[in-house]
Amino acid sequence: FALSSRLPQRAGRNMAPPPVPRPLWIAVLVVTQSSILFGYSLSQLNAVTGDASAVGALQNDVNMGGVWVTLSSAILYPFAMLSSFSAPALLEKYGAKRVLLYSDIGFIFAAGLTAISSRGAIVLGRAVMGVGVGLSGVAVSPLLAEVSPAAQRGRIGAIHQLMIAIGSLLSSILGYAFCSYVRHGWKVANLVLALPAAIQLVLHDHVPQSPRWLLRKDFVREAEAVLRRFMDADTANDELHSMARDVQGPQHSVSGGSSSLVMGSPHEPSNARFLGDQASARVRSASRRDQTWMDVMALGRVAVVGLGLTVFQALSGVNIVVGFSTMLFRSAGLSEPILGTLLVSAANVATTVLCSRFLDYLGRRALLLASTSIMTGSLLLAGFVILTVENEVVLHVFAIFALVAYIFGFALGVGPATWVVVTEIIPTELRSKA
């Protein structure tokens, strides 16, 4: 947290960030269809299995007991983890745009599998979905950071988490609506997953290729064109020079755009002030060869902060709330547990909108500390109430309150700010691998 307070991409407490250009908004909305897929996938089965007595519930057509529901929901995570480890190599070979579009095909295939009345097909579909979640989760944040001006990077970066929250909310709403009123409605709710993927495929011209990847492949004109779509000429030129310096190494001359890019010497990696001499030397070396995990670990305290934030985000328990909130509310005795899930999802979206508005204005560190404090307090409150309160009405009220407060805390900082901080403190040279 102390390191995150020194980040350069911050407008300041008394400065409002400049408006986001319209072409950038369009590109961000198309790119973050992958984020909607991410969020929808996490809570997909949570919505369609919430009330087994509903007319359109999955359990009416498929023999899915608690073990199979848990397996189908949880199998997404190991496949997401495995695919995220392979994502850097794919990003280096194909670029972020093609990786996202290939993921869309996988999501469409997975949506079809999870709409088949077969336990095996549903489990397989969830595994394929996990591969897409892993790839898109790694690709989206760095791509948004590369095409966003520094003054708007926090705001734009937070949209990734906002769209994840919206995807989760859509899954809850559609699952509740179709399962409550439509026979075999779970199939329709699961098939809806294919819609954001299809939208991104149709609007693929609005998905920018990674400027950093283009420079690594010596496509200077194309990289310059991407940046000029989303920022003014001077800012685009500065960003292009900065990326070229990071990617190409010292004294590397690149021509082909509107101007030649000639790097100065000695070459310093991006965010060099966060790094020690040894780490800076390692980054300079990595910019001229294939990056390894040892290069990432050599970043020292930057790696510790980045890894610490992402591990804390993952282990904070938010995936349990998003993926199993209906089960949690049912175990607490609520007669309509899906309504509690809808409330949690709505709180997630509303708070992420608030965070995206103030992330550049208040700064990352303040929101991270406030977020962590609220999450800790809500979990302590929930544990205390569960252990000491016997009145069911009071228990139900506090169960809902604690979970909503927990999600409010997560969406206030730990959710969106983590993605932004990690992309800001990691040098460009190692960003895909990290």
3-state secondary structure the chain: CCCHHHCCCCCCCCCCCCCCCHHHHHHHHHHCHHHHHHHHHHHHHHHHCCCCCCCCCHHHCCCCCHHHHHHHHHCHHHHHHHHHHHHHHHHHHHHHHHHHHHHHHHHHHHHHHCCCCCHHHHHHHHHHHHHHHHHHHHHHHHHHHHHCCHHHHHHHHHHHHHHHHHHHHHHHHHHHHHHHHCCCHHHHHHHCCHHHHHHHHHCHHHCCCCHHHHHHCCCHHHHHHHHHHHCCHHHHHHHHHHHHHHHHCCCCEECCCCCCEECCCCCCCCCHHHCCHHHHHHHHHHCCCCCCHHHHHCCCHHHHHHHHHHHHHHHCCHHHHHHHHHHHHHHCCCCCHHHHHHHHHHHHHHHHHHHHHHHHHHCHHHHHHHHHHHHHHHHHHHHHHHHHCCCHHHHHHHHHHHHHHHHHHHHHHHHHHHHHHHHHHCCHHHCCCC
**Residue 58 in domain:** yes
Our CA angle for 412, 416, 419, nearest 5°, is 150
**Residue 433 in domain:** no
Inter-axis angle of helices 119-147 and 76-113, to 10 degrees? 110
In the chain, the number of structural domains is 1
Q: Which domain holds residue 190?
A: 22-216+293-425
**Residue 432 in domain:** no
**Residue 241 in domain:** no
Residue 245 is predicted with a pLDDT of: 73
The domain that holds 162 is classified in CATH as 1.20.1250.20
**Residue 128 in domain:** yes
The tens-digit pLDDT sequence of the chain (434 residues) is 444 444 444 444 445 566 778 899 999 999 999 999 999 998 888 878 877 778 888 888 988 877 888 899 889 999 999 999 888 889 989 999 999 999 999 999 999 999 999 999 999 999 999 999 999 988 998 899 889 887 787 778 888 888 998 998 899 889 888 988 899 999 999 999 999 999 999 999 999 999 989 988 889 899 999 999 998 888 888 888 877 776 665 444 444 444 444 443 334 444 554 555 444 444 445 444 566 667 777 777 777 888 888 888 888 888 777 777 777 777 766 677 777 778 888 888 888 888 877 776 777 888 889 999 999 999 898 888 888 888 877 887 887 788 889 989 998 888 888 877 887 777 766 666 66
Neighbours of 260 (CB within 10 A): 10
Residue 30 is predicted with a pLDDT of: 96
Residue 417 is predicted with a pLDDT of: 83
Residue 126 is predicted with a pLDDT of: 95
pTM confidence score: 0.79
Residue 426 is predicted with a pLDDT of: 74
Residue 85 is predicted with a pLDDT of: 87
Distance CA 81, CA 198 (A): 24
Distance CA 221, CA 145 (A): 20
- Report how far Cα 322 is from the mean position of its chain's Cα atoms: 14
Here the tokens at position 190 are 């699961």
Amino acid letter, 50:
G
Q: Which of 194, 172, 175, 57 is nearest to 125 (CA)?
A: 194
**Residue 75 in domain:** yes
Residue 3 is predicted with a pLDDT of: 43
**Residue 365 in domain:** yes
**Residue 430 in domain:** no
Report yes or no: 50 and 101 within 8 Å, Cβ to Cβ. no
- Report how far Cα 196 is from the mean position of its chain's Cα atoms: 15
